[in-house]
Chains A and B, each alone.
Chain A
Amino acid sequence: MMKHLLILLFAFVLLTAFNNEVQSLFHAPNYFPKPSYDFKKNPLTKEKVLLGRVLFFDPLLSIDGKVSCASCHSPYNAFAHTDHSLSHGIFDSIGNRNAPALFNLAWQHDFMWDGAINHLDVQALAPISHPKEMGENINHLVEKLQSSSRYPSLFFKAFKDSAITGENLLKALAQFQLTLVSNHSKYDEVRQGKNSFSEQENKGYQLFLQNCNACHTEPLFTNEQFECNGLSVDTTLNDFGKNRITHLSVDSLVFKVPSLRNLRYTFPYMHDGRFKKLGQVLNHYTNNIQPHPNLSKELKNGIHLSSDDKADLIAFLMTLNDSSFVFNTHHQFPKEFF
């Protein structure tokens, strides 16, 4: 009997220790929905997250050894590429799209502006292999990591195996990215009763709920869907969004709805980074929506905002900035490894 109790107690301690570890790496407030990511298939551990973080900041992942994931996804910009409308890659290549911010990825089920990628684990394959981004291939990358002085021991610590595989490389990168949770904005403090909106922010919040929340749904500020938002086609890019993947006319000019959290750090905006200022974004929605058969039904009647409304709305949007996320040292360059 005593023996059984001891075993139970031991199991309980183990389980609690495990849960605490996961919780310290990944925590979401109770008003967040259930994550889409299945953590059971890739349970977070300190060692795997750390390995993923070292990989994320390592330019060894690119063919010329100069571009890392962080080159276009900087922690100080909420993991976007501020000031660059289109992504930059190896040999000074310019890509076709604006590098999106990375946070709250555990709630995303389709990745990239066109939804080309269906799971966070396999997302990294796209930039690693893209000739205008990192220009590598996964086999060559695994060889480079295997023959480096840094990685076999880090993989051993993380996966109990120093033989590096594509699967483990991708899962470690996914683990680090899963820990990029942004939920300490003023908005979050208000939700938790620890702070309150100013009068202007509150007016902006009401305008947001009436005009924006259908697609940029709180608390993640995206509905994780794809919509046509009435932007004119940039004829130097001819980017038709999701249509590139599905070849369906209903997906022409349809792009992923991005989150509105951390807008202060993630300019320029839109899939091609055409707007530098939030004011320009709001002017697009009030004045410049182009008619299109695929136009989001939420935009069919236009959005009507006075200039005072726009100022109030921007005041609310600024409550979605999360400086503690942007300056979180656990997400930054792990200099002790370089």
Chain B
Amino acid sequence: MILQVISVSLGAQVKTISFLPYLENERIIKDSSQYAENAHENISISTLKFYVSKIYFYKSGKKVFEETNSFHLMDWDEKMSFHVSVKNEFDEVGFSIGIDSATNVSGAFGGDLDPTKGMYWTWQSGYINFKIEGTSPICKTRNHAFQWHIGGYKYPNTTIQEIKLRCTTKKDIVVVVDLKELLEQSSLVEHPEVMSPSKQAVHLSSIFKTCFSIAP
């Protein structure tokens, strides 16, 4: 409340950025079977967590505002939105999915970056940028489970991805995360378990760009 009063007095406005998980144009509900074409038939998702970092705003292609200390963990079980106080008019928002390499090599952090958040590997250093777990009948694993812990900050296994989306100052920013392209059949069948920096993790992260869009 106090924060809001201060930001209003500076002429800033508080924008909420929220993320809505979708599959094939349908809102998905945690742990419930979801019908979709092909691979997505009876897919169920139990965990969805990812980092949104380095948020910045553009106006006519020029960077007008950058959030400081910008690290937000989106977690289906906890929160899927956060607030940013922006002073300027903007028509585009940019952010990264994942944690930059400088942060990855700089020791222990708190808040959303605390290693207790389940997004830090223990057997080797580095953040998991994007975690999705669930089941699909096409996975030939125990209980048909798939687990993708997508991370890696060192070349050639870099997995951080930048996203840039057109938006407007007038509304809060609602981002649709459509997992359709990510949960492709071949990946689920051939690589149901991705849990270290690898070629496959890089491939999966390259699909993030197609997953994020502004809600109509």
Contacts and interface: CB of A to CB of B under 8 A. Distances in A.
Nearest to B104: A118
B105 A129 contact: no
Interface residues of A, number: 27
A125 B117 CA distance: 13
A41 interface: yes
Interface string A109-125: 00000001111111001
Given A138-B115, A166-B115, A167-B115, A126 B123 contact: yes
A139 B120 contact: no
Interface in A239-277: 245, 247
Interface in B22-42: none
Interface string A89-128: 0000000000000000000000000001111111001101
A130 interface: yes
B116 interface: yes
Contacts of B124: 116-117, 126, 245
A122 B120 contact: yes
B125 A142 contact: no
Interface of B: 104-110, 113-118, 120, 122-126, 198
Q: Interface on chain A toward B: helix, strand, loop, or mixed SS?
A: helix
Q: Interface on chain B toward A: helix, strand, loop, or mixed SS?
A: loop
A165 B123 contact: no
B122 A126 contact: yes
A122 B107 contact: yes
18 contacts: A42-B107, A118-B125, A119-B105, A119-B107, A119-B125, A120-B107, A121-B107, A125-B120, A125-B122, A126-B122, A126-B124, A142-B116, A165-B114, A165-B116, A166-B110, A166-B117, A170-B108, A245-B124
B142 to A, nearest CB: 18
Contacts of B117: 166
A41 B107 contact: yes
A171 interface: yes
Nearest to A119: B107
Contacts of B108: 119, 121-122, 166-167, 170-171, 174
Contacts of B115: 122, 125, 138, 166-167, 170
A139 B118 contact: yes
A185 interface: no
A260 to B, nearest CB: 26
B102 to A, nearest CB: 11
Contacts of A247: 198
Contacts of B123: 116, 126, 129-130
Most chain A CB inside 10 Å of its own CB: which residue of B106, B115, B118: B115
A225 interface: no
Contact of A166 (B114, B125, B126): B114
Interface in A38-57: 38, 41-42
B116 A122 contact: no
B191 to A, nearest CB: 15
Contacts of A217: none
B140 to A, nearest CB: 24
B125 A117 contact: yes
Contacts of B116: 138-139, 142, 165-166
A239 to B, nearest CB: 14
Contact of A128 (B107, B114, B122, B198): B122
A213 interface: no
Closest 6 pairs (CB-CB, A-B): A121-B107, A129-B122, A166-B116, A167-B110, A121-B108, A116-B124
Contacts of B113: 167
Contacts of A128: 122
A120 B106 CA distance: 9
Contacts of B105: 118-119
Nearest to B124: A116
B125 A116 contact: yes
Contacts of B107: 38, 41-42, 119-122, 170-171, 174
A94 B124 CA distance: 20
A315 B118 CA distance: 49
A38 B117 CA distance: 24
A305 to B, nearest CB: 37
A332 interface: no
A211 interface: no
Given A125-B120, A167-B115, 7 more contacts: A122-B115, A138-B122, A142-B116, A165-B110, A166-B108, A166-B114, A167-B113
Contacts of A130: 122-123
Contacts of A122: 107-108, 115, 120, 125
A247 B120 CA distance: 20
Nearest to A245: B124
A168 interface: yes
B110 A168 contact: yes
A234 B109 CA distance: 38
A48 to B, nearest CB: 13
A38 B105 CA distance: 12
Contacts of A138: 115-116, 122
